[in-house]
A = this chain, B = another copy of it.
């Protein structure tokens, strides 16, 4: 019995080493989709987080609490919500985004946006209060303050981006509901692993699983390194 697992592993390694076209294709698509959603999410989260963090306004605490609460919205809820919006009968149905990688990027962006915003705020709030006082006393304008503080928080911000990417690449709910695991079109690592396993394609699943695990661990290692850099 154990033999079959070992057999599967050998075949999996072979698929990776021989650069099997399907394995390569799924991996590249996964990276493109997850990187796109991370970049889109970051482009939104850094200014939004910066504005929330550097201003004092009524309801700021409530807003930050809301953002944190949204961290834990299950992926299938995001998938369901986006499905309703972009299915042929939904308000954005005419854009024909369902079962496309663009739709997946939008879904993953929605998924990771709260944590990107939340960690941006945390990165800025985590800075020594004195830095901002010093900048103000030196005559910095509001935008000069923001830029200088983002620079000080750069390690924590990069760690936040890596956390977002790690979430995007490992999630399966949005990918399956919005992408649909269409071969050669929207199939990504997680959906392929999840569905090929039950169909008995163990060696393909294992090959993709090894790649996903390595990617996830590399990202995690990067996060740790960056958080260390911030502390030093």
Interface residues of A (CB under 8 A from B): 1-2, 4-5, 8, 65, 68-69, 71-77, 79-81, 83-84, 89-91, 93, 166, 169-173, 176-177, 180, 189-190, 193-194, 197-198, 202, 205-206, 209, 212-213, 216-217, 219-221, 224
Q: What would be 20 A-B contacts, judged by CB atoms less than 8 Å apart?
A: A1-B91, A4-B90, A5-B91, A8-B84, A65-B224, A72-B166, A72-B217, A74-B216, A75-B170, A76-B170, A76-B189, A76-B194, A76-B209, A77-B193, A84-B202, A172-B172, A172-B176, A173-B190, A176-B194, A177-B197
A91 to B2, CA, bound (A): 6
A213 nearest CB neighbor, chain B only: B77
- Nearest 5 CB-CB pairings of A with B: A74-B170, A76-B193, A72-B220, A4-B89, A80-B209
Contact status of A79 and B194, CB under 8 A, knowing A74-B216, A217-B69:
yes
A69 in complex: contacting residue of B76, B79, B93, B221, CB < 8 Å:
B221
CB distance from A94 to the nearest CB of B (A): 9
Given A90-B5, A177-B197, A220-B69, A190-B84 contact (CB < 8 Å): no
User: In the assembly, how many copies of this chain are there?
Assistant: 2
* A206 surroundings in chain B (CB, below 8 A): 80, 84
A80 surroundings in chain B (CB, below 8 A): 193, 197, 205-206, 209
Please indicate the chain B residues that have their CB under 8 angstroms from the CB of A77 in the complex. Answer: 193, 209, 212-213, 216
Asked if A172 meets B69 with Cβ closer than 8 Å, knowing A90-B5, A194-B177, A198-B177, the reply is no
- Measured CB to CB, the nearest residue on chain B to A192 is B76
Interface of A is mostly: helix
Q: Complex formed: what's the CA distance from A193 to B209 in Å? A: 24
In the complex, how many angstroms separate the beta carbon of A218 from the nearest chain B beta carbon?
10
- Given the complex of chains A and B, what is the CA–CA distance between A15 and B169 in angstroms? 34
A197/B83 in contact, CB under 8 A: yes
Neighbouring B residues of A221 by C-beta, 8 Å: 69
A176, B198: Cα distance in complex, Å: 9
- In the assembly, what is the distance between CA of A4 and CA of B213, in Å? 40
Q: Is the CB of A5 within 8 A of B72?
A: no
> Across the interface, which residues of B come within 8 angstroms of A176, CB to CB?
172, 194, 198
